[in-house]
Amino acid sequence: MMRTATISLILLTQLLVGRASAQQWAERMFNTLEHDFGTVARGADTVYRFEVTNLYKQTMHISGVRSSCGCTIPTVEHPTIKTHEKAYIVAKFNTRTFVGRHGATLTITFDPPFAAEVQIRVHGNIRSDVVFQPGAVQFGSVDEGTVQERRILVSYAGHSNWKITDVTNDNDRFEVELNEVNRNSNKVTYSLLVRLKGNLPPGYLKDRLTVVTNDRSASSQRIPLFVEGRVIPEISVTPETLVLGDVVPGEPVVRKVVVRGKKPFKILDVNCGDDCFTFKKDDASKVLHLVEITYRPANKPGALKIPVRITTDRGAKRGATIMVSAHVVVPAATTEAPAEAKTQASVAVENVQVADSASK
């Protein structure tokens, strides 16, 4: 009986150690296991994305994520993660239904054969007296070089001397205008105009402003207001990445890419600083161009990634860049062995196989 109990204890210990070790390798893929939303306004769009990077040779798959509390709604972006690729666990704080201090544990499940569970934590304080309408500054899609404006109403219910003293941001992407539009004995309303500058580079925009108040508590004085959008480039190239695959020295590879603009334009130059590339373009002014790219691989084997810059007459910053990738493969030199040597090699292989079979 004692021996049976001992064996059971050993098996249980091994099982627990195995689970702990499985969880540890999975935890190492996360950039962090906890996030504090801080103090946020009611109705604010409050989201945090936990980054998950596959550090291993095997492809990983996230089968699901669940939350211990309705105050946080989790989702998964890109659940299948190949080597060095990223997934995201998106945690959205439910500021429209909940108020006060809340927190949640999110449990992420990885599929077999590399099964594991990882728990991450989020928490924050949702103010009931401050409301953002709408909950974030959403610019949507904005053409490069244009100025866009969005307006947010900030409402407060409480003591009459409450004020917004400042609205700050960590960069110069925005201009902000703050105006008090209403104040009475128990309610204050501000109009916040956020202007997106016209000199932003193309790409996704995800930033935040900080509304600073005169609240007595230091932890309540700074309220985040998130800003999102995407700046659409005036000149675009398709595809953005040109994959040539395996190439052999001395054998040229020719591909064509499409360059588009919102207005007619000329391509002034196509350059990458590599003598192995040549480019063919036309000098016409039009909305759509075809550019022919010829790559003549050098004798040096290995992988390469080279940015190709396309310059137009729309200005120094109104161009496009395409990334060209290839893998140069140098064929191995082969010589024909004499018939006698071939026969001897065949006999040697047969002997090895027989010996291996005999050993079994």
Residue 203 pLDDT exceeds 90? no
Domain 235-328: give its CATH code.
2.60.40.10
* Of 152, 156, 126, 103, nearest in space to 46 by CA: 126
Q: Which two tokens stand for residue 117?
A: 């569970």
Is the Cα torsion angle 202, 206, 207, 208 positive or negative in sign? positive
What's the maximum distance between 2 C-alpha atoms anywhere in the chain? Answer: 106
**pLDDT digits over 74-123, tens only?**
999 999 999 899 999 999 999 999 999 999 999 999 998 889 999 999 99
Instruction: Say whether 45 sits in a helix, a strand or coil.
Output: coil
Pick the CATH number of 19-127 from 3.40.47.10, 1.10.8.60, 2.60.40.10, 1.10.630.10: 2.60.40.10
Whole-model pTM: value is 0.68
Dist CA 101 CA 130 (whole Å): 14
Dist CA 271 CA 96 (whole Å): 52
Output the DSSP codes for 266-298.
-EEEEE-S-TTEEEE-----EEEEEEEEEE---
- Quickly list H helices, the chain: 2-27, 339-359
Pick the CATH number of 136-232 from 2.60.40.10, 3.30.420.40, 3.30.70.270, 3.40.50.300: 2.60.40.10
HSE (side-chain half, CA atoms, 13 Å) at 293: 31
Dist CA 321 CA 309 (whole Å): 5
Percent of the chain with pLDDT over 90: 60
**pLDDT digits over 249-290, tens only?**
889 999 999 999 988 999 999 998 888 899 999 889 999 999
Q: Which two tokens stand for residue 144?
A: 């490069």
Other Cβ atoms within 10 Å of 324 Cβ, number:
21
Dist CA 234 CA 255 (whole Å): 23
* Cβ atoms of residues 122 and 48 within 8 Å: yes
The residues with which 126 forms a beta bridge, in sequence order, are: 40, 100
How much is the pLDDT for 333?
61
Domain spans, the chain: 19-127, 136-232, 235-328
* Of 203, 206, 261, 264, nearest in space to 232 by CA: 203
**pLDDT digits over 155-189, tens only?**
999 888 999 999 998 778 889 999 999 998 889 99
